[in-house]
Structure 1
Amino acid sequence: MAGLRDIDYVEMWVEDAGAVAAMYQATFGFERIAEAAPETGLQGHHSVVLAQGEAHIVITSPDDCEGTVADFVKLHGDGVRDIAFRADDARRVFDQAVARGAQPIHAPSEHAGDGAPVVRATISGFDDVVHTLVQREGAFLDALPACYRPVGSPARTKPVLFDAIDHVAMCLRTGTLDEVAEYYKRVLDFEDGHRELVYSERSGMNARVVQCGPIKFPLQEPLASNPSGPIAEFLDLYRGAGVYHLAFLTNDIVHTLRELHQNNVDALPTPGRYYDMLTNRVGPLEERLDDLRDLNVLVDRDEWGYLLQVFTRSLHERQTLFFEVIQRKNARGFGSGNIRALFDAVEADRLAAREMNSSVA
């Protein structure tokens, strides 16, 4: 195995790091724990580091209109640049990945950590997504270069809504799904999860999941025969392949969503008929159906248990990055059954509307 432990952090490149960080603090309950800027040694950029539970986000913006970060933002808008992995041996993983075809972005470097050296290296992922490999034994802030300065903050008074990053979902160009999945398997010893073909009258997608221990990547591409729908729309608006959404784990989705609604975070709406069909599809649940309906919570069951999930509306200008909130009750999947169930609910609503129109006529 490649020796990857988990996702250490996700770095977003955005037009205005301060504004995005403040938005995530106010809406999703993140705390600002560190910053870096030219005055601290981060040349040409400004970064804010946010944390909640074990979930960490680095938000970076350019200080002028030139350079790699600025070019990325001009092309994609706000988006995920780096999905950083915590590694047992960053040098070994880097050497192995490059030998297997990954492009070296930054060779391994070392700086002092809390009681042990920290090693960092970066390799290519797909398109404009890269992966930093972090070898550390101390606290999370050790993972960051020395130019990052901790930000003192008062004791947390808000509830912790997210426990960790559950998975990162990607949208890929038509015809590249297998290529990207096999890349992660070859270069970083990821393994296959499930495959799926989903389609409706209006859109469709191929999907695969690859994972390495707790690191999980659902990958999706539009169907060549029906290249429309939300995946194709992302590719058009983002102007390329990239990260579609970040999924955050919670241990009480009803409580978390109540808090998020107080912060004016909206969930994507779910047809009411979805809930009329829910218990027949997934069986008995511990949660109240009225709560799930009220909060637009989707439910799916696999052989290990069931999960509850909600997709939030994007807060970014191009609408190309949003959050998922997910609670797992032993389920290991990603809610793929919800896609078909939503299609069924929409079709049932259409049928009911046609029947009503016919009776009126």
Structure 2
Amino acid sequence: MTTYTDKGPKPDSGRFVCFDHVTFWVGNAKQAASHYCARMGFEPFAYKGLETGSRHVASHAVKQNKIVFVFQSMLEPHKPEDMGKHLVKHGDGVKDVAFQVEDLDAIVKRAKDRGAVVKKEPWEESDEHGSVRMAMVQTYGDTTHTFIDRANYNGLFLPGYKKPMFEDPLLSKLPKGGLNFIDHIVGNQPDQDMVSVAEWYERNLMFHRFWSVDDSQIHTDYSSLRSIVVTNYEETIKMPINEPANGKRKSQIQEYVDYYGGAGVQHIAMNTDDIISAVTNLQARGQHFLQVPKRYYDNLRERLKHSKVDVKENLDTLEKLRILVDFDDNGYLLQIFTKNMQDRPTLFLEVIQRHNHQGFGAGNFKSLFEAIEYDQAERGNL
């Protein structure tokens, strides 16, 4: 495992502020949004569709604190054509990861000068609440990044969106999700593509390497992976890039690539300041999480005896909820992963709480792989 301290030169203009929102292309946006609200603690936030004058695409935005997910579906059989093709190939999944930026033009010009494919040159959208400027670039696979400058906008979400048309009376009766902001978003790549993708972020967006791990450190009998985490200068946007490494059988990264039809977003990690309450509540809402074997906790207690770190949470409670712990001499993190959020074994979610620890759970990868491999075996894909 390697952590990197060299951020490289500070960009002289343009700044990446934070994750803005994540757009999913799905078969049925209304139902997908409802599922994330019911199970993961989101609330309906904004809507765009036939009733608001959007003739081709329905968009349901849901929100939880600073996290915004937008689910979009086509309204006509063959329009938009690219959305139809995307759904046939990939199934439900993340199409776009949007970043909030300052000085959009500088960021786009620099990315373009350095070789990025600009899918949509800067454009502006307006309504009675002001205007938003945006641009879109191509990243790995069919995934895009939209850059969003909101400096002159004070509306609900984006121009064209209205408040949701209905209130869901069930949601107020359910316990709170307790998720605060997007911690990181992971992209899976086919074998041997990870380095070139990480270099794309370094070159075109002036991101830098933050953390990495290779397959000599992360492997089981069946699975192994390599990962490089890239981040912006301020380190507010973290994007781990994974690839499979050869194992005896098909790794879960390769399973993702096979079922998704190429590179794409594998999981979205959401930060909480109380993972025990969050997971207790999400389980009460019916969200399914991966179950690591009991021996993980026997092993963990043994390892913690020889560590300087003091885990404040009750280990019996963490074991009961199947929350994972990763630690070093300075701190620790707590994390848990949902099962797949759709029928294809592609995208899932993570809940994470950090205590002075900026890693990504490398110490848990082996246990996590074993849990995923158990599920893979059930699917006949190991």
Taking a change above 3 Å as real, the CA distance of residues 31 and 265 of structure 1, as seen in their structure-2 partners, is: same
Encode CA deviations 1:66-111: one digit per residue, 9 max, x unaligned: 2111111110000001000000111211111111111111111123
Match of 1:35 in 2: 47
- Which whole-Å CA distance do the structure 2 matches of 1:140 and 1:77 have between them? 34
Give the AA of the match of 2:105: R
- Which whole-Å CA distance do the structure 2 matches of 1:148 and 1:260 have between them? 28
Deviation at 1:142, TM superposition (A): 5.8
Taking a change above 3 Å as real, the CA distance of residues 109 and 241 of structure 1, as seen in their structure-2 partners, is: same
8 Å Cα contact 2:265-2:347 kept in structure 1: yes
Give the AA of the match of 2:28: D
- Which whole-Å CA distance do the structure 1 matches of 2:17 and 2:330 have between them? 23
Percentage identity across paired residues of the two chains: 34
Give the AA of the match of 2:202: K
Q: Does 1:336 align with 2:336?
A: no
From 82, 85, 110, the equivalent of 2:124 is 110
Matches within 5 A, 1:266-345: 266-282=288-304, 283=307, 284-340=310-366
8 Å Cα contact 2:327-2:333 kept in structure 1: yes
Taking a change above 3 Å as real, the CA distance of residues 116 and 34 of structure 1, as seen in their structure-2 partners, is: closer
From 97, 110, 122, the equivalent of 1:83 is 97
Encode CA deviations 1:89-142: one digit per residue, 9 max, x unaligned: 112111111111111111111234787642111111111110000011367856
Matches within 5 A, 1:45-84: 45-66=57-78, 67-84=81-98
TM-score w.r.t. the length of structure 2 is: 0.84
Matches within 5 A, 1:139-218: 141=155, 144=158, 146-151=159-164, 157=172, 158-197=175-214, 198-212=218-232, 213-218=235-240
8 Å Cα contact 1:204-1:227 kept in structure 2: no
Q: Does 1:244 align with 2:266?
A: yes
Deviation at 1:200, TM superposition (A): 2.2
TM-score w.r.t. the length of structure 1 is: 0.89
What secondary structure, in the 3-state scheme, does the structure 2 residue paired with 1:333 have? coil
Q: Structure 1 unaligned runs (5+)? A: 347-361
- Which whole-Å CA distance do the structure 2 matches of 1:307 and 1:139 have between them? 36
Deviation at 1:39, TM superposition (A): 4.1
Taking a change above 3 Å as real, the CA distance of residues 114 and 274 of structure 1, as seen in their structure-2 partners, is: farther
What secondary structure, in the 3-state scheme, does the structure 2 residue paired with 1:137 have? coil
- Which whole-Å CA distance do the structure 2 matches of 1:96 and 1:320 have between them? 33
- Which whole-Å CA distance do the structure 2 matches of 1:318 and 1:69 have between them? 18
8 Å Cα contact 2:33-2:62 kept in structure 1: yes
Deviation at 1:65, TM superposition (A): 3.3
What secondary structure, in the 3-state scheme, does the structure 2 residue paired with 1:10 have? strand
Match of 1:12 in 2: 24
Give the AA of the match of 2:314: R
Deviation at 1:176, TM superposition (A): 0.4
Deviation at 1:326, TM superposition (A): 0.5
Match of 1:357 in 2: none
Deviation at 1:181, TM superposition (A): 0.2
Match of 2:133 in 1: 119
Encode CA deviations 1:123-176: one digit per residue, 9 max, x unaligned: 1111111000001136785652x2221237599845252101111011100010
Match of 1:351 in 2: none
Taking a change above 3 Å as real, the CA distance of residues 317 and 116 of structure 1, as seen in their structure-2 partners, is: same
- Which whole-Å CA distance do the structure 1 matches of 2:32 and 2:371 have between them? 35
Match of 2:281 in 1: 259
From 103, 106, 113, the equivalent of 1:92 is 106
What secondary structure, in the 3-state scheme, does the structure 2 residue paired with 1:128 have? coil
Deviation at 1:271, TM superposition (A): 1.0
Deviation at 1:267, TM superposition (A): 1.2
CA RMSD after TM alignment? 2.4
Match of 2:375 in 1: none
8 Å Cα contact 1:136-1:142 kept in structure 2: no
Match of 2:8 in 1: none
- Which whole-Å CA distance do the structure 1 matches of 2:335 and 2:277 have between them? 13
8 Å Cα contact 1:118-1:143 kept in structure 2: no
What secondary structure, in the 3-state scheme, does the structure 2 residue paired with 1:313 have? coil
8 Å Cα contact 1:244-1:322 kept in structure 2: yes
Q: Does 1:129 align with 2:143?
A: yes
- Which whole-Å CA distance do the structure 2 matches of 1:131 and 1:291 have between them? 39
